[in-house]
Structures are given as structure tokens and as C-alpha cells.
Amino acid sequence: MAFFFLSLGLVGCFRRYALGKGLMDVPNARSSHQLPTPRGGGMVFVGLWLVTVLLTWASGELSSNAALFLLPGGILVAGIGYGDDLYDLSPLWRALVHLIAAVIAVYFLWAREANPDWEIFSWQGLGVLSALVAIVWSINLFNFMDGTDGLAAMEACFVFSAGGGWLWQAGAYGYAYLAWVLVAVVAGFLVWNWPPARIFMGDGGSSFLGFLIAAFALAGHICWDIPVLLWMMVYGVFWFDATVTLLRRILAGERWYSAHRSHAYQRLHQAGWSHRKVLLAISGVNTGLVAAALWASANRETLPWVFLATLMFLGVAYVGVERLCPMYPKE
């Protein structure tokens, strides 16, 4: 509870700082908001969480390997994201830093423990490469999906609440504690980000959360045998929307790396749904996804089938949005 109120107060202080410094998100043709709004507030929960990791490490509740797995990548991703909030950095620089962060994380989680003679075209090598892709994609997709009030913060609270429970059950108490601390500090931010948002988290906060979701999911799978599919289920709205939309834009010959308003959640807003209605609808979907994931976790033999049912449900929901507001309207 203390983390929640500390975050709540510090976000308010940061908002006043952002207003004074002119750190504003000014609406443009791709925006879903209409008024200039302070941004960069995610750096509050980033800072609080990183300090908590350091203190947990210093107290001996977190191993050095775990701290080095989480800290350098998190700092790099949040730093380059906040730099982009301030100075509008080149996508190439951001991509490079994201890749470096992923390499560091995978090294301390996995490759350092592996045979140094591993080959890329072995199962082990393919696993490492898949982990790198997963981390970099999660960083970016979370940033893509941070486009309406409260959505990204709400998603993080769902994912890390459930993930913390699985980590605790597996005996990963340090990781579980850090997951729940993140829920508390993000919830403090969410109070300010609730529709109508009074501050945005910015690229620094959204990229940081995307990095941590992939990092915790991989750590849970490799170290404690928590299936990645469980994390994918509770993270389903974000990765499904972002991935399907990206593939459709590539197939349509668009500049897939450019900013746009084609995601399903953005099209719901374009169809006349308010930020609050979009947030509540996706919160309802997430509640169902978490319930399904908890069932699958307790009945592991059903996991592949529950995951398949989840994919079908997300596909039907996506088609429903498509009918309401097509990505490519017919002339």
C-alpha cells in the first residue's frame, strides 16, 4: 500500500514539473486525445521499481544474477524511451538500444549458463534467438498499444498480478515481490492516467513495462517451469492486436514502422467509443483471460486447449472490431 501512495504522490509532483518544463504531448492527426497533456510520468514508477530492485538485491532477497538480468536492460530501455519523449530520437537508435538490452538480459538469464560452444542452428541457439526477438517485440508492441487513457497501465496491472501469483507458487518469492511492487506503483500512476488522463506515461514507461513482461515470462519459464503460454494468455489483448495489425500493414505494403491509428483498440475509439468505454471493455476481456489462465495453470493438461480457445476468442473479437470500424474501409 505504501508503494501505491508513494507513486500516487510522486506522479502528481512529476505532473507539475512536466507542466512547468513544457513536457507535453501535443495532439496530432494520429492522436486519440484532443488536449495537450503532460507526458513522461511513467518514469516515476520506473524509478521506484528500480530502487526497489536495488534494495531487494542489497538485502540478499535477490541474487546478483537476477539483479543483473533485470537492471541493465530496464535502465537502458527506460532511458532511451524517456530520451525519445524529450528529443524525438531516431528509430534506429532506439532499436539498437532495445537489442542491447535484450542481449544483456538473455546473457544473464540463459546464455551465460549454457555451453559456450552452442550453435545458432541448435535447439539451444534457436531458443536464445527466440528470447531476443520476444523481448524486443514486447518492448515495441507495448509502446504501440499505449494509445488511449489508462490502457497500458491497466494491462501491466493485470499481467503482473497474475504473474506474481504464479511466481509465488513456484517459490520465486523475490520475483513475485517485485511483480507485485510493480503493480502497486503502476496503479498509483493509473489514478492520474485514468480517463480523462491528466498525464501520460510516455515511451520510457511503456517500453520499460514491455521489457519486464517478456523478462519475467522468460525467467518464469526457464527457471521455474511456468509455461510462457500462461503469460501469453493474460498478455493476449496487447500482443494479438499489435501482431495482427503489424502483419496486415506489412502485407498491405505500408511503412509498417511509421506511426498510425490502425490498432483495434484505436479503431474502437474512432468508432465513437470513449476512452473510458475502451478501457472498461478491455478490462472485462482481461478479466476473462486471467480466469482462463488461472484455470489452465491449475489444470496443466488443459493448457494447450485453453490457449487455443483464447486465440479463437481474440480472433473473433478482432473480427468484431473490424466489422465495426474496418482497418481498410472500402471506397
The C-alpha cell of 74 is what? 530496464
User: What do you get for the CA distance between the two ends of the chain, in Å?
Assistant: 53
Distance CA 69, CA 306 (A): 31
d(CA 53, CA 177): 10
Residue 24 bridge partners (DSSP): 38
Instruction: Note if the bond before 196 is cis, omega within 30 degrees.
Output: yes
Length of the chain: 331
The alpha carbons of the chain give a radius of gyration, in whole angstroms, of 19
- For residue 121, pLDDT beyond 60: no
Report the C-alpha gap between 119 and 126 in whole angstroms.
9
| Rounded-to-integer distance, Cα 249 and Cα 254, Å | 5
**Band (126; pLDDT cuts 50, 70, 90):** confident
Q: Is 28 annotated as a binding residue?
A: no
Asked if the model's pLDDT at residue 29 lies above 70, the reply is no
Q: Distance of CA 45 to CAs 53, 209, 212, 234, 243, Å?
A: 12, 10, 13, 21, 27
Q: Is the pLDDT of residue 110 over 80?
A: no
3-state secondary structure of 25: strand
- pLDDT band for position 114 (50/70/90)? very low
Q: In one letter, which amino acid is 143? A: N
pLDDT score, position 261: 84
- Let me know: does 207 contact 139? Beta carbons within 8 Å: yes
Position 32 scores a pLDDT of 63
Confidence band, pLDDT 50/70/90 cuts, at residue 31:
low
- Taking 90 as the threshold, does the pLDDT of residue 236 lie above it? yes
143 is known to lie in a ligand binding site: yes
H or E stretch covering 38: strand 37-38
Q: What is the pTM of this model?
A: 0.94
Using a pLDDT cut of 70, give the percent of the chain over it: 93
Q: Where are the domains of the chain?
A: 2-324
Closest CA to 264 of 166, 174, 145: 145
Q: Alpha helices of the chain — where are they, by DSSP H?
A: 2-21, 42-58, 64-87, 91-109, 123-144, 151-169, 173-193, 202-224, 228-234, 236-251, 264-270, 275-298, 303-324
CA 308 to chain centre: 22
Q: Which amino acid is residue 52, in one-letter code? A: T
Count of Cβ atoms closer than 10 Å to residue 325 Cβ? 16
CB 137 within 8 A of CB 153: no
Cell of 196: 480523462
115 confidence band (pLDDT: 50, 70, 90): very low
Phi, psi (5° rounding) for residue 254? -80, 165
